[in-house]
């Protein structure tokens, strides 16, 4: 039940923030349909490999917005959040469900990735050799 409540809160927060930005600022959200420009392969690759997909599609193909200081900071430090921001700016009016899913992946993926990195940096891994006791007894015979 906690997960559904968190998803509802994130949905309401993103919807409220985008509504405020759209109504009270000069920010214009794109009216593009995601599936007119991209397909399912791009969708899965941007979800699972955001840095590689952003770099290849931005530099080589030119299918996404590319460049700028904030873009590069997002690319190096939080690529999933960069993807969610780009999706919000481009596809909010036509595909709000995809944008919400991108924000859920961004917030969940970035937080879990940072959690795992900090956990591994704090406690080094200890390898268990599989021995239950402190000594091992063995008998050896010398061949003549």
Q: Would you state the pLDDT for residue 111?
A: 67
Predicted confidence pLDDT, tens digits, the chain (144 residues): 677 777 778 777 777 877 787 778 776 677 778 888 788 888 888 888 888 888 887 776 666 666 677 778 888 888 888 888 888 878 878 888 888 888 888 877 766 776 777 777 776 555 555 555 566 667 778 887
DSSP per-residue letters across 77-127: H-HHHHHHHHHHHHHTTT-HHHHHHHHHHHHHHHHHHHHHHHHHHHS----
Q: Would you state the pLDDT for residue 130?
A: 57
């Amino acid at each position: 039940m906690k997960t559904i409540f968190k998803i509802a809160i994130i949905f309401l927060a993103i919807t409220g923030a985008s509504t405020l930005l759209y109504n009270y600022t000069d920010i214009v959200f794109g009216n593009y349909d995601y599936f007119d420009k991209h397909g399912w392969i791009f969708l899965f690759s941007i979800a699972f490999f955001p840095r590689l997909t952003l770099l290849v599609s931005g530099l080589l193909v030119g299918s996404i917005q590319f460049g700028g200081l904030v873009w590069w900071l997002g690319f190096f430090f939080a690529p999933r959040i960069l993807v969610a921001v780009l999706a919000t700016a481009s596809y909010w009016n036509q595909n709000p469900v995809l944008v919400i899913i991108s924000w859920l992946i961004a917030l969940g993926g970035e937080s879990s990735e940072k959690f795992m990195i900090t956990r591994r940096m704090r406690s080094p891994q200890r390898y268990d050799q599989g021995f239950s006791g402190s000594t091992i007894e063995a008998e050896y015979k010398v061949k003549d």
